[in-house]
Amino acid sequence: MAMKEDSNLELLIAQLADLIIKSKRIVVFTGAGVSTESGIPDFRSPDGIWTKYDPEDFTYQKFVSSKEARKKMYGMLEESGLMADTNPNPAHYAIAELEKMGKLDCVITQNVDGLHQKAGNSEDKVFQLHGNMVHAVCLGCKKRYPLENVINRVKQGLDDPSCEKCGGILKPDGVFFGETLPHGELNEATARSAKCDLFIVIGSSLVVYPAAYMPTYAVNAGAKLVIINREPTHMDRASHIRIYEGAGDTMLKVMKRVRGSNT
């Protein structure tokens, strides 16, 4: 039985490699299943951070209005491991390789770790629908700071670090509960999803909206849909290829085949 499953997986990987070779405008959509393979915890998993904290304590409104809420946020970020020194994994590098090949139109990501850019994707090709927790931004003058530096100031005893330029509140640049998604990123992601010829979902269960609408826009416009995710999604039936495996190992095998076709 295992042999049959292995051969079926190899067939799916070969089919995906062939699709990539034939495609000219690929959009890749990534979720927590890509980040977790770099050691970043999935906040929504059964033992994730939201089982230890109440999400209601981390709304945008509370963060802005309460010094105590800001202290709690920085403590949670430190405990979560999100700020650990993490590195891209084979899935990130595979997506960056698609850009080098001239195949990638863009990456649309629900992740906030900046690992796509760290792996080599151009900043202007990565649309971070839920923001970027690599930086903090001043809500007054919009000056940006490395978030790690802000958290270090908290560790050194500064309860509520403020902007060194204007004294404004510093907020991690991710999208908080109660905060709208960045309109520019969302609009651009929507437009690009509707213009691609291949849409690849990697490591997302497609349960968080409006980000999860992106594959629907692609399919409705005639693109082929590929989903690589261990768990089922509501778009599985619409997919051209469905692979129930991990992100890194799958993309490593896929890109090896793609490279082999060019030799």
Active-site residues: which are they? 130
Residue 210: asked if its preceding bond is cis (omega within 30°), the reply is yes
Nearest Cα residue to 205 out of 62, 12, 44:
44
Ramachandran angles phi, psi of 198, nearest 5°: -145, 130
Q: How many degrees, rounded to 5, is the angle at CA 133 between CA 191 and CA 101?
A: 50
β-strand pairing of 144-146 with 131-138: antiparallel
C-alpha to C-alpha distance for 121 and 114, rounded to whole angstroms: 10
8 A C-beta contact, residue 83 and residue 73: no
Provide the 8-state DSSP code for 57.
Answer: G
In whole angstroms, what separates CA 170 from the centre of its chain? 23
